[in-house]
Structure 1
Amino acid sequence: MTIEDHPFGAEVHVHAGGQGVWQARMLLRLGVSVTMCAVLTGETGRVMRHLLEDEGIDVSAIEREGRGSAYIHDRRGGERIAVVEDEGEPIGRHELDELYGMMLKEGMASHAVILSGPAGEEALPADTYRRLASDLRDTGTLVLADLAGERLAAALEGGVDVLKVSHEELIDDGLIPDDSLHEIMGAMRALRDRGAAVVVVSRSSDPLLLLDEHGFLEVRTPELEVADTRGAGDLLTAGIAAGLATGESARSAVTLGAAAGAMNVTRHGLGSGDRDAIGRLREKVSVRPIADELDADIEQPVTGRVSPDGLVALLETEDEQ
């Protein structure tokens, strides 16, 4: 729940939220059907199901009684002030077994699966992500992970097709000492060695980086006025998933993800954005290969299109695939 100012008094908004919800919402806006798997708990869970289904999201859920995750934020003063934030109760063993089976069933019926983080740190065991990543990939499903900490490590052990992580999360997890390109690129190589076929690192307002079997790419979007930065990284992942689900390569899909994430910062609604506007912004995304760390330090002008070297790299990638 969010309380905002209105000329005639306080205005209360009730929304479904969280990493997976924002990603599902963006996938729908990009024209991709999506099923959300979750545990819905108590009164907030019952409200959540209705809100999600009203948006057109298919919900496959385990329902239970108890205290569900929720928050109340007050934005009447212009800034977001947390009044109440509750992570809810952890998932029990029997509920986890049901949830796992449901996620496997829905995952095997999908082109791609995003593994997102739960509402609370104690919601479910991190090893669940290792098992899911391994089992889903063994069935031929594309697996994307947007995780950090123990959950990231567990997913890597299972193996993922695409890993998205922010440079702040790399620092928080002790994988890099600072945000220098040299350190980030080294961490990306290590993450590939640990089980990620493609690694994407968002770097706040700096160009994001992608590493696959062909090497590094730098992906730059036009600078837009920021209304709210929350959720931009999640929508980057959703855009990549949408591209992969419709048959694009990771190097192509990352431009859709970059545009979706960039468009989101111009809005207060998380997971929102106009599909046509995102498509137009995607045309302005600039891509260039990075041969090594020294090349990465060379500033490149924003041309509003793929650079010649980047175009050659993309064409070579498509030919090889």
Structure 2
Amino acid sequence: MGSVAVFAPSPLLTVTVEEAPTGPDLHVHAGGQGVWQARMLQSLGASVTLCSVLLGEVGDVVRHLVEREGIHLRAVERDGRGAAYVHDRRGGEREPVIETPGDVLTRHDLDELYNLAFHSGLEADLTVLSGPAGDVVLPADTYRRLAADLRSAGRPVVADLAGERLDAVVAGGLAVLKVSDEELVDDGRASGTDVRSVVEAMRRLREEGAACVIVTRSAESTLVLDGGRMLEVRVPALEVVDTKGAGDSLTAGVAAALADRASIEDAVRLGAAAGALNVTRHGLGSARPDAVKAMTKQVEIRPFDGEDADQ
């Protein structure tokens, strides 16, 4: 596999309470979109560099946890309040106890983080841009600038974003954009989750600057618009343990394959397999690489004419 830089501006400290035979059991991990992507990327054999801002005591713990997993970390560090959550899953569903996005990044934080991310992107085969823990942690325009600068330097960018950050990164131009149909509706880019509305939104995103658009649709097939080709991706329905992190695992699988110079079909196949297996596990952004490889044989990719995806 190739090398991937992951832009993760505000990684989370995650604490999850599980039920165990002897009583409540605490699970403490580094998390957040970029960390879950980096974890899956590393599981699939990619060389990963995570670029983040680490704040205060939470940041100290996140650094320890990330580095213990063997992920290379480049970070801006200072005092402050880091992003974190505590979830209670003893009843089977995630019940938030505490959720905090952490402090807004200062101008100095942003300058230093931008330099770290751009440097790492120049050295890597591909860069993944992931979102922060909260909407106001950093300006959305940071994503436009970073995508545009890396594109100017000839480095491909993959993004898994929504809202203003999606608008910004598309304006900067990128190789692959992953988004869900519900996010397209929430952003006002699609009038509904029906196939026609989603396909029209995908075509507009391509015109605006995304060379390839991947749209996940919950239990329905995933749609891929690559240049002028529309593809439909189906995977077997598996028993769900936790859906959180499945989309990030899909993005990581796509990025890992593209960094290794695979075709978009093979990249989507690997991503779909990684995302499908992630829902069968309690650990977010995790799967055994041999299981993912076996699962790729169960992924069906076929041409799609824009009318028959759900028939």
**TM class, shorter-length:** over 0.9
What SS does the corresponding residue of 2:74 show, helix, strand or coil?
strand
For 1:185-235, what per-residue CA distance to the aligned partner results, in whole angstroms no more than 9, with x for missing partners? 000000000000000000011110000124100010011111111111111
Matched to 2:51, the amino acid is C
What SS does the corresponding residue of 2:272 show, helix, strand or coil?
helix
1:26 aligns with 2:61: no
Distance in 1 (alpha carbons) for counterparts of 2:95 and 2:226? 40
1:82 aligns with 2:96: yes
1:44 aligns with 2:58: yes
Structure 1, unaligned stretches of length 5 or more? 300-321
Structure 2, unaligned stretches of length 5 or more? 1-14
What corresponds to 2:177 in structure 1?
163
CA contact (8 A) 2:141 2:165 kept: yes
What SS does the corresponding residue of 2:256 show, helix, strand or coil?
helix
What SS does the corresponding residue of 1:237 show, helix, strand or coil?
helix
- 1:57 corresponds, among 71, 79, 96, to 71
What SS does the corresponding residue of 1:16 show, helix, strand or coil?
strand
Q: CA deviation at 1:296?
A: 3.3
Superposition map of 1:120-139 within 5 A = 120-139=134-153
Percent identity for Structure 1 against Structure 2: 58
What SS does the corresponding residue of 1:266 show, helix, strand or coil?
coil
- 2:168 corresponds, among 154, 169, 187, to 154
Of structures 1 and 2, the one with the larger relative CO (CA 8 A, separation 6+) is 2
Matched to 2:225, the amino acid is L
Matched to 1:115, the amino acid is L
- 1:258 corresponds, among 249, 272, 285, to 272
What corresponds to 1:200 in structure 2?
214
Q: TM-score, normalised by structure 2?
A: 0.94
Q: Point out 4+ residue stretches in structure 1 off by more than 4 angstroms.
A: none
Matched to 1:126, the amino acid is A
What SS does the corresponding residue of 1:5 show, helix, strand or coil?
strand
Superposition map of 1:271-286 within 5 A = 271-286=285-300
What corresponds to 2:186 in structure 1?
172
What SS does the corresponding residue of 2:31 show, helix, strand or coil?
coil
What corresponds to 1:16 in structure 2?
30
More strand by share: 2
What corresponds to 1:294 in structure 2?
307
Q: CA deviation at 1:295?
A: 3.7
Distance in 1 (alpha carbons) for counterparts of 2:193 and 2:98? 33
Q: TM-score, normalised by structure 1?
A: 0.91
What corresponds to 2:8 in structure 1?
none
What corresponds to 2:82 in structure 1?
68
Distance in 1 (alpha carbons) for counterparts of 2:265 and 2:132? 28
- 1:35 corresponds, among 41, 49, 54, to 49
Superposition map of 1:101-120 within 5 A = 101-120=115-134
Q: CA deviation at 1:251?
A: 2.1
Query: Number of residue pairs matched?
Result: 297
Distance in 2 (alpha carbons) for counterparts of 1:272 and 1:294? 34
Matched to 1:110, the amino acid is A
